[in-house]
Amino acid sequence: MTLTTPQPAESAAQTTLQAGFVPFPADRAAHYRQTGLWTGRPLGEILRTAAQTWPGNIAVADAHPSHTFADLDARADRAAAGFAALGIAPGDRVLLQLPNSAHFAVALFGLLRAGAVPVMCLPGHRLAELTHFASVSGAVALVIADSAAGFDYRAMAEELVAAHPAVRHVVVHGDPGPFLPWSVLDSDAPPPAVRPATDSPALLLVSGGTTGAPKLIPRTHEDYVYNVTASAQLCALTPSDVYLVVLPAAHNFPLACPGLLGALSSGAATVFTADPSPEAAFAVIDRHRVTVTALVPALAKLWAQACEWEPLAPKGLRLLQVGGAKLASNDAAAVRSALTPGLQQVFGMAEGLLNYTRLGDAADLLDHTQGRPLSEYDELRIVDEAGHEVQHGAEGELLVRGPYTINGYFNAPQDNARSFSPDGFYRTGDRVRRSANGYLEVTGRVKDVIIRGGETVAALDLEEHLITHPAIWAAAAVPLPDEFLGEKICAVVVFSGPPVSLAELNAHLDGRGVAAHSRPDTLVAWESLPTTAVGKTDKKAIVARLTR
Ligand code: OOB
């Protein structure tokens, strides 16, 4: 048998990494460097610097013994050496899918220090998503836990590698089954000396869109370090803070806004929990004296209400970030009074742009806006359907480019042609209104509309009216096909008390001045609304369930 010389993995992988990646245009990159926004630090260095500055402070904790910064730094080096020994080379993509735990941080920094590019899968992703990520990214390995929340990731991995032999290694935390044990990431070998190009992708995030297949989002070292450190500064994180990761750690919000990475860069401790229920999370907040955390609106609303019956309602939270979907203004007020006056609304996206309300903002801004851009170098455009900028204060689609917003999805030329303007603005698909003080209000999604008898009804607007009814806990307005109207409006609701009829509900909407053509034609009551892997209402799943 003749053996062919294998292609050096490094060069093959690097070519593909660069081939799938749309870099920042040179003039803008130069500008961000001149202004000092981009500092030329690789993302993995955040932990190195922290370990030198605060070696003995607690860096990460979960249900197991905690790690100091020095300890986490050493573990990351050992993991990097382990990845390198498996033949994972600089530029290789590796699917990272772990539940919230300190191991997540070890594996993430191990990969970054090996020069590999982690693909940030969420624990809720399943074979369909992982298969898509593997083929779009060209991943060579997968890092998983044995099982979590009743799901066996090894069984999924077996199907994945059978269909995708390019995924050569599977490393498992816990019982490895047929795969590699976690101990391969505890290597005595010297860590690889890799210094990645800081204008190349550090990691690939997954898009949070609730329509279409998720896309991969390449974030460069320079842009992501800026994203993290500017967010940490805006939130005034210090070594006295304790940040709780309760949303899935691989999501941009708890990872980098400022999240785990912002906490590490500030010398703050990070606590991981995989159970977001008020009962479990309040106990963790109490035990670790958590000061900062990030939630999606549905969880924030639940936590605020749970303060009525949970004995351990949070006391020391100085900052509670809420984002990922629209927070209703009455829920914002409830969060401020029940949980902490330190509410912060965050309107962000894995593609880049982050908007935050600021610490100390007046209640009116905290309750009614989704904040303003992180950076003065964020360039925002709000346009009408013809692509023309709207009048000040009018509603339109938000387009953005700036120092931490991508210039293209990874390996997706067709999506890119649709999603970016010729001059490099990302079309967010979000409808917003900007007031004179620069704060944004999110009014809906461009495509989240119901076209009923020729009238366009914005789903979010109707949902905001629906949840003002005291019997309604949560609501989603979706289109259903209709012979006469084209589409009719279906309100799917979760009742918090005795149910009400469609006629009663519509009388309530009438009282609020909602036009007759914008009121639901059908009312459906469910126990709960389906959610995406990060906990946003999943409209695709709702429509699929209604029409199957
Ligand atoms: C965050 O990121 P993704 O990528 O999961 O989702 C982004 C989309 C936005 O385009 C927008 O449609 C929606 O989620 N969204 C909001 C929102 N925050 C995000 N819609 C209304 N109000 C908000 N406050 O969700 C994300 C990333 C970083 C920080 C925070 C959230």
Q: Which two tokens stand for residue 238?
A: 């210090």
Burial readout 185-221 (b: 16 or more C-beta within 10 A, e: otherwise): bebeeebbebebbbbbbbbbbbbbbbeeebbbbbbbb
Q: Which residues contact 69 (CB under 8 A, 6 or more apart)?
A: 47, 50, 51, 53, 54, 55, 56, 57, 59, 264, 267
Tell me the HSE value of 441 on the side-chain side, using a 13 A CA sphere: 18
Residue 230 Cα, ligand 1 centroid: separation in angstroms?
Answer: 18
Cα(517) to centroid(ligand 1), Å: 29
Q: Is residue 11's pLDDT more than 70?
A: no
Domain residues of the chain, as ranges?
A: 10-24+38-217, 449-547
Contact 425, 379 (CB under 8 A): yes
Please give the structure tokens belonging to residue 141: 């390995």
Domain 10-24+38-217 has CATH 3.40.50.980: yes
CB atoms under 10 Å from CB of 480, counted, come to 16
**Mean pLDDT for the stretch of residues 437-449:** 96
Tell me, rounded to whole angstroms, the distance of Cα 418 from its chain centroid.
22
CA dist 132 and 73 (Å) reads 32
Q: Which amino acid makes up residue 317? A: L
Instruction: Please work out whether the CB of residue 276 comes within 6 Å of at least one atom of ligand 1.
Output: no
Pocket of ligand 1 contains residue 205 by CB under 6 Å:
no
What pLDDT is recorded for position 519?
A: 97
**What are the pLDDT digits (tens) for 66-109?**
999 999 999 999 999 999 999 999 999 999 999 999 999 999 99
| Cβ of 430 less than 6 Å from ligand 1 | yes
Query: Ligand 1: which residue has its CA nearest to atom 5?
Result: 208
Alpha-carbon span 135 to 95, nearest angstrom: 11
How far apart, in whole angstroms, are the C-alpha atoms of residue 536 and residue 299? Answer: 10
Q: Which residue has the tokens 């870099």?
A: 23
Q: Is 207 in the pocket of ligand 1 (CB under 6 A)?
A: yes
- Ligand 1 pocket check for 208: Cβ under 6 Å: yes
Atom of ligand 1 nearest to the CA of 370: 24
Pocket of ligand 1 contains residue 187 by CB under 6 Å = no
Please tell me the predicted confidence (pLDDT) of residue 213.
78
CA 434 to CA 440: how far, in whole Å? 5
Answer for the pair 427, 399: CB distance below 8 angstroms, yes or no: yes
Q: How far apart are CA 212 and CA 185, in angstroms?
A: 35
Report the nearest atom of ligand 1 relative to the CA of 208. 5
> Does ligand 1 lie within 6 Å of residue 345's CB atom?
yes
Confidence of residue 9 (pLDDT cuts 50, 70, 90): very low
pLDDT at 286 over 60: yes
Q: In the predicted model, what is the mean pLDDT of residues 363-369?
A: 98
pLDDT tens digits, one per residue of 483-524:
999 999 999 999 999 999 999 999 999 999 999 999 999 999
Q: What is the CA radius of gyration of the chain?
A: 23
Going along 424-471, which residue ranges are E strands? 426-434, 440-445, 449-452, 455-458
Task: Tell me the backbone φ, ψ of residue 261, rounded to 5 degrees.
Answer: -70, -35
- The reported pLDDT for the residue numbered 16 is 79
> Which of 347, 355, 365, 378 is the pocket-test mutation for ligand 1 (most atoms within 8 Å of CB)?
347
Question: How distant is the alpha carbon of residue 125 from its chain centre?
Answer: 13
CA-nearest of 113, 122, 151, 117 to 136 is 117
Q: Write out the E strands in 221-369.
A: 242-245, 269-272, 292-295, 319-323, 343-349, 352-356
Please give the Cα distance from 138 to 434 (Å, whole number): 40
pLDDT in tens, 387-414: 999 999 999 999 999 999 999 999 999 9
Q: Indicate the burial class of 26 (C-beta count within 10 angstroms; 0-12, 13-18, 19 or more).
A: exposed
Nearest atom, ligand 1, residue 209 CA: 6
**What confidence category does residue 211 fall into, taking pLDDT thresholds of 50, 70 and 90?**
low
CA of 508 to the centre of ligand 1 (A): 30
2, pLDDT greater than 60: no
Banded pLDDT at 343 (limits 50, 70, 90): very high
- Can you tell me the distance from the alpha carbon of 163 to that of 167, in angstroms, rounded to the nearest whole number? 9
Closest CA to 199 of 377, 13, 30: 30
Fold of 449-547: GMP Synthetase; Chain A, domain 3 (3.30.300)
Which ligand 1 atom sits closest to the C-alpha of 251?
Answer: 5
Residues 6 or more apart whose Cβ sits within 8 Å of residue 491: 462, 466, 475, 476, 477, 505, 520, 522, 523, 524
Q: Residue 261: what pLDDT?
A: 99
Ligand 1: residue of 215, 349, 460 to mutate (most ligand atoms within 8 A of CB) is 349
258 CA → ligand 1 middle, Å: 14
**Rounded to two decimals, what is the model's pTM?**
0.95
Assess whether pLDDT exceeds 80 at residue 209. no
SS3 state of residue 502: helix
Ligand 1 centroid–CA 395 distance in Å is 18
- Closest ligand 1 atom to residue 532 Cα is 5
pLDDT in tens, 448-462: 999 999 999 999 999
Is 358:235 a contact under the CB 8 Å cutoff? Answer: no
Q: Is the CB of 426 under 6 A from ligand 1?
A: no
SS3 content of the chain, % helix, strand, coil (to 5): 35, 25, 40
State residue 210's pLDDT score.
Answer: 56
Q: Where are the alpha helices (DSSP H) in 276-412?
A: 278-288, 297-306, 329-338, 363-368
- What is the CA(438)–ligand 1 centre distance, in A? 18
